[in-house]
Structure 1
Amino acid sequence: MGRSVIVHENFLRRVAAGDLPEGRAPAGPLSREAAVSLYRSGCLSRHLDRTSRAMQAAGTGFYTIGSSGHEGMAAVAAALRPTDIAFLHYRDAAFQIQRAEQVPGQTILWDMLLSFASSTEDPISGGRHKVLGSKALFIPPQTSTIASHLPKAVGAAYSIGAARRQRPEHAILPDDAIAFCSFGDASANHSTAQGAFNAAQWTSYQSVPLPLLFCCEDNGIGISTKTPKGWIAATFSARPGLKYFACDGLDIFDTYATALAAADYVRTRRKPAFLHIRTIRLYGHAGADMPTTYMPKAEVEAEEAQDPLLHSVRLLQEAGALSGAGALAIYEETAARVSRVATEAVTRPRLKDAQGVMASLIPPARPCRPTNGPGPEARASVFGSDLKQAAEPQIMSKLINMALTDLMLAHPEIVMMGEDVGRKGGVYGVTQKLQSRFGPDRMIDTLLDEQSILGLAIGMAQNGFVPMPEIQFLAYLHNAEDQIRGEAATLPFFSNGQFTNPMVLRIAGLGYQKGFGGHFHNDNSVAVLRDIPGLILAVPSNGADAARMLRECVRLAREEQRLVTFLEPIALYPMRDLHDDKDGLWMRPYPDPSEVIRFGEVGIDGAGTDLAIVTFGNGVYLSHKARRAIEAAGIRVRIIDTRWLSPLPKEALTAAVAGCEHILIVDETRHSGGVAEALMAHFHETSGAKLARLTAEDSFIATGPAYAVTMPSADSITTAAIALAGGRS
């Protein structure tokens, strides 16, 4: 007999017999009426768990990680406001159920059953996943809460104070809101969680407002790995900048009183707190998990004897709120209601095709206030003497800096964050003077922690800001890539476009950097970015294009709510010359702020029909260096700058190579998993031209004289072009 059946029958038998577990007497500010409401929420959560298992057994449900044992989280919900954004642990059905009681017009039972059934009518995910979440309840959905949601909770909390100082157009959180984030005791050990705790403490220690309530639901077990007794209290009770509260989650009166005190502390002091709640886990981890395979049966039964619903029945009786018979009636009536509604929910339509599944990969556009950009006086005031340089050719890093200045002038909701972006002005000077121009609120120098940088951006995006986080080097992204893939990119997908993470992630990367590098500062792999559905990856090849593309990237984030990565080739930041020393041919004047390169627009240089060189980033520069020798061999060439690497602008590329007899793809990323693989496949499918590719080796990049030997060069491009297209012998 399954443990869920055993727990259910034990409840019925023990309540009927008055055999209830011992515990403290009810105390605190929880009223009798509110206590009954919490019990009702706990009963509904319990029966939803039981029903999810029945649905799975019948083939009509598809997710059985339940909340049984964590029903006390209903008391936490009651202690908070429904406008306090909540990033929930996947065992927090009782929290969402109770919060729904605080907001008129909710149909929480129906909604959650639709989610169990993976129905397209599920109001949060549209049938894509069983997730807790609701737009009306300020609960963004989480698909895996193994700590990955903690960094963005820090960001959301920070955004509340930031919005007080400069409220964005699309802000959703009230000025007196707090952010709530719950997780299990096992997740508290995850490096992502530890980074979030540290970032919160670091921020609080400096008296920066951060109204954030962490909530650890400590059931003492991470499937087969137990949490040592006293571990959470020992490690969190005395952390600087993080106030510690503890309560017994089996006692709804104690939990409510403690959560109310913790929330009040966070709301009034604008400082983070850690709420430690003792819970138990009933049943196994999920439907297929049998706890008795890795826990002694006596231990499992001892946990079941402490069923929080049994404790609630005792507490309600002692408080004079509800008799045992009344509690049993609510439990049985709730079971019947859940079963009845589930019978209808399983008949509702489900996703049937790829188009339906993918419909929410791209978030919906949102209306934005029109902006004509900053006026001449504002620009003159902010740019100062730099404005005079705009008409003169400049290097890429300078032109990106000018573009960022104009964009931040035009859009006060833009906030930049990263290591050394503010006071220092970036490793390569790209963000110089921006902090003095716009202040530390908009140019945030962060901890040396990529997960915290991206979490800050994700959280601020959910409160209406347009973040522009910077990852100092492409190789550093791998420390935190799940924040992009598992959090930012999936949020619109699993919320049916209701929650989004618009941002422009700036990364300095790719290869060819002389004298300073090795594989940590020169990384020529973009596979991890091109593999993320919905993400836009842009790579400029010169300063003027960088400025024009950056403006489009901000528009995509601000108006279309897109997740954009703007990858800036480090080696091209200072590039001045093309062929000869001091020829200055790779510098450009600053383009007028009205000039934009639209998403999917490729660059075409030349009209030759013998050979099209299709490339991007450093490859564009190197192909131009090789052009003289190629054309000297009698080959008429055109150079195509892809610019947008994900998704590839396939129609524009097809049109750009039209009429060419040969196509050479020059790819500075690796031979295996590089961009050339997709380009070769595309042109094979759409073009009759003869194809070849020149790529980097499958290697990391060395420091010193060999910094570029594993990647294409002007000479190797020339050789490959002549080998492909012929030329004079």
Structure 2
Amino acid sequence: MSRHLDLQARRLQARGEAFYTIGSAGHEGNAAVALALRHTDPAFLHYRDAAFFIQRARMVPGQDPLRDLLLSFAACAEDPISGGRHKVLGSRVLNVPPQTSTIASHLPKAMGTAHSLALTKRLGVAGQWPHDGVVLCSFGDASFNHSTAQGALNAAAWSAYQGLPMPLVWLCEDNGIGISTPTPAGWIAASMTSRPGVHYLACDGLDLLDTWRAAREAVHIARTRRRPVFLHMRCVRLFGHAGSDAQQAYLSPARIQADEARDPLLITAGLLRRHGVLSRDAIAQRYHDLREQVARRAEEAIGRPRLTSAEQVMASIVPPPRPSRIAPWQGTVDVTPDTLARHLNRALERLMGRYPHLVMAGEDIGRKGGVYGVTQKLQARFGAHRVIDTLLDEQSILGLGIGMAQNGLVPILEIQFLAYLHNAEDQLRGEAATLSFFSSGQYTNPMVVRIAGLGYQKGFGGHFHNDNAIAVLRDIPGLLVACPSNGADAVGLLQEAVRLADEEQRVVVVIEPIALYHTRDLFAEGDGAWCFTDPGPEHRLAVGELGQWGTGRDLAIVTYGNGVYLSRQAAERLQAEGIALRIVDLRWLTAIDHDAVHAAVADCARVLIVDECRRSGSPSEELVTGLVERGLDGRQVMRLTAEDSFIPLGRAATVTLPAAEDIVVRARELLGR
């Protein structure tokens, strides 16, 4: 069935009726791996695993994998997993979360899911998968070399080496070539046979009996010893990488012919005859009957409805809601004015107490309490299993969170600096934010990502620790980004972010301005004007809810983060010059309520947008567009942004960024003074 699906996909593509031809031909031996697992074991599948998917479907009554896969090939709206948005191997019933293009990006979340199986049991939380489950994650020999794969393999081994449960089977389907680049003979085995913390097994994927033997052993070790197993399955790639790949351009006719002679269907036919299961004629009859069945049902599938509108396509970007799991607050609130960092610490402590399924993870957040002390003493109170000190690998940190979130937990992850996110941002863009979209909301990975970022940090850094590039976050569909300017707002935004993750299953990023973590004073040393009181455990700032200081109508300053602090300093001088102004704090940098922004500034003579991010790709571009679209005269609006530059070290660290003096000068210019 898998083979005929591959062939039929090419025929349909030639007719313009199918859109995906990366097939499973030569890898069908993974059906034996499916048989070695329970259908309740989560499986993160390689795109060549149609036979695995079909075999698992046979283990659950009422499944029709042929129909489901043909609807997926044809991008039909009735495709039960993606709703026609992509060809994926996935099923909620079969516990196969969809993977869209598995170039190793699914390995970190598989590792996270494996870790979560024991963690949910320890926390007494009902996860999506049984506590005694095993996670299967399959990938190719070319993907094995990707840094994401190596990071995930290392993180799983690093955890298992320390005795942490990691019931995980890595299935490497080694066909010896990545599109046209050969994998060095023996490379995979040499890389994995002596890896600490990982048990290595090998099998011949062309021989179903050998694969079945090795797969059963791998699953037994992972399930009983709760440790990762690397199952190295040798196989062959037939028909090229995809339908568009003419492999005769880089493989000799002799090599192609030799590969075809290793066809697992031929070898399996030999096994069936040798063991007296089926005769030659019975095998041929079955092959031809299936071909006709696949062709007939393909014609039925391509006649089913397809997506026709933007609304249909976008319907699953935002996940469906679910019941809240928050416990009532029973403590007291310290009303002493304090800094942003201290308020975040107290809010995190409250949240961890109220949500038993909340787990924190990040580098140095436990014993050290974070680089800036934001998570101090939380590990001592809640334990190392809930406040997790991770290894230094942002891809693994985010993957850990994605995997835990898919199993019913709500992770709060910390990325130490915004600049450190960029080597791992695909875990947010290509994995976390797309799961609901490509599963029609059936699978979700809600979480909160805290990132220390932006500029103005004194005495430390350069551009690795002062980074004002947030465009990469703002253009991810469905991702929410918040940025507090003070301690009270930090509490409201963080508490709303956790509510959004818990109840609305959203992925939320909170960018915390490093320079404001411990800032106490606003105008003069010792004035304490940037310390605020804790607004309490029920205070939440909804997406798009603006903050405002002042009511003046001469000038409205629209800003966020450090810009609010600088604008308050500038406002003192501007007011002394007789300028009546107001400051509008965005708080949320995505899903901006442009109607609310327009209403907040519409009665002002002029609008100055102060944006600490770079001129290109910054929120100010969207803000100007939103205001002009709503009727504001473009001559009334001016931007003050950072330069399109990296941030240097030393005394020059702020020269490319807006300053309070710049705000004063630009405001005078805008008002014609």
Q: TM-score range by the shorter chain?
A: over 0.9
Give per-residue Cα distances to partners, 1:5-35, cap 9 Å, x unaligned: xxxxxxxxxxxxxxxxxxxxxxxxxxxxxxx
* 8 A contact 2:327–2:355 mirrored in 1: no
Give per-residue Cα distances to partners, 1:508-553, cap 9 Å, x unaligned: 0000000011000000110100011110000000001000111100
Map 1:230-629; keep pairs closer than 5 Å: 230-369=186-325, 371-376=326-331, 390-629=334-573
Letter in 2 for 1:425: G
Instruction: Give the total of aligned pairs.
Output: 671
Letter in 2 for 1:642: L
Map 1:211-222; keep pairs closer than 5 Å: 211-222=167-178
* 8 A contact 1:70–1:249 mirrored in 2: yes
| Pairing 1:95–2:52 present | yes
- What secondary structure does 2:337 align onto? coil
* 8 A contact 1:615–1:640 mirrored in 2: yes
Aligned residue in 2 for 1:176: 132
Map 1:624-639; keep pairs closer than 5 Å: 624-639=568-583
- What secondary structure does 1:638 align onto? strand
Aligned residue in 1 for 2:642: 696
Distance 1:680 1:259 in 2: 59
Give, in angstroms, the shift of residue 452 of structure 1: 0.6
- What secondary structure does 2:467 align onto? coil
Aligned residue in 2 for 1:19: none
* 8 A contact 1:633–1:722 mirrored in 2: no
Compared CA separation, residues 310 and 372, structure 1 to 2 (3 A): closer
* 8 A contact 1:530–1:647 mirrored in 2: no
* 8 A contact 1:248–1:277 mirrored in 2: yes
Distance 1:167 1:469 in 2: 21
Distance 1:230 1:262 in 2: 20
- What secondary structure does 2:508 align onto? strand
Give, in angstroms, the shift of residue 726 of structure 1: 3.3
Give, in angstroms, the shift of residue 503 of structure 1: 0.3
* 8 A contact 2:43–2:136 mirrored in 1: yes
Aligned residue in 2 for 1:79: 36
* 8 A contact 1:156–1:459 mirrored in 2: yes
Distance 1:688 1:287 in 2: 52
Letter in 1 for 2:54: I
- What secondary structure does 2:68 align onto? helix
Distance 1:725 1:139 in 2: 60
Distance 1:246 1:430 in 2: 46
Give, in angstroms, the shift of residue 229 of structure 1: 1.3
- What secondary structure does 1:507 align onto? strand
* 8 A contact 2:6–2:23 mirrored in 1: yes
Distance 1:687 1:669 in 2: 25
Aligned residue in 1 for 2:150: 194
Letter in 2 for 1:78: L
Give, in angstroms, the shift of residue 175 of structure 1: 1.0
Distance 1:198 1:372 in 2: 37
* 8 A contact 2:602–2:632 mirrored in 1: no
Give, in angstroms, the shift of residue 651 of structure 1: 2.1
Letter in 1 for 2:220: D
* 8 A contact 1:65–1:287 mirrored in 2: yes
Give, in angstroms, the shift of residue 439 of structure 1: 0.5
- What secondary structure does 1:479 align onto? coil
Aligned residue in 2 for 1:16: none
Give, in angstroms, the shift of residue 445 of structure 1: 0.2
Give per-residue Cα distances to partners, 1:357-383, cap 9 Å, x unaligned: 1111111111234x353313xx6xxxx
Give, in angstroms, the shift of residue 266 of structure 1: 0.3
| Pairing 1:151–2:108 present | yes
**TM-score, structure 2 as length reference:** 0.99
Letter in 2 for 1:494: F
* 8 A contact 2:543–2:591 mirrored in 1: no
Unaligned runs of 5+ in 1: 1-43, 380-386
- What secondary structure does 1:705 align onto? helix
**TM-score, structure 1 as length reference:** 0.91
Aligned residue in 2 for 1:29: none
More displaced stretch, 319-328 vs 408-417? 319-328
- What secondary structure does 2:369 align onto? coil
Distance 1:408 1:549 in 2: 16
| Pairing 1:109–2:60 present | no
Distance 2:296 2:324 in 1: 44
Give, in angstroms, the shift of residue 688 of structure 1: 2.1
Give, in angstroms, the shift of residue 447 of structure 1: 0.4
Give per-residue Cα distances to partners, 1:457-498, cap 9 Å, x unaligned: 000000000011100000000110010001111111111111
- What secondary structure does 2:638 align onto? strand
Give, in angstroms, the shift of residue 702 of structure 1: 1.3
* 8 A contact 1:395–1:574 mirrored in 2: yes
* 8 A contact 2:44–2:136 mirrored in 1: yes
Distance 1:593 1:659 in 2: 34
* 8 A contact 2:105–2:148 mirrored in 1: yes
Distance 1:159 1:192 in 2: 20
Unaligned runs of 5+ in 2: none
Give per-residue Cα distances to partners, 1:48-97, cap 9 Å, x unaligned: 00110011011111111000000101000000011110110000000000
Letter in 2 for 1:98: Q
Give per-residue Cα distances to partners, 1:108-130, cap 9 Å, x unaligned: 11111000110000001000111
- What secondary structure does 1:719 align onto? helix
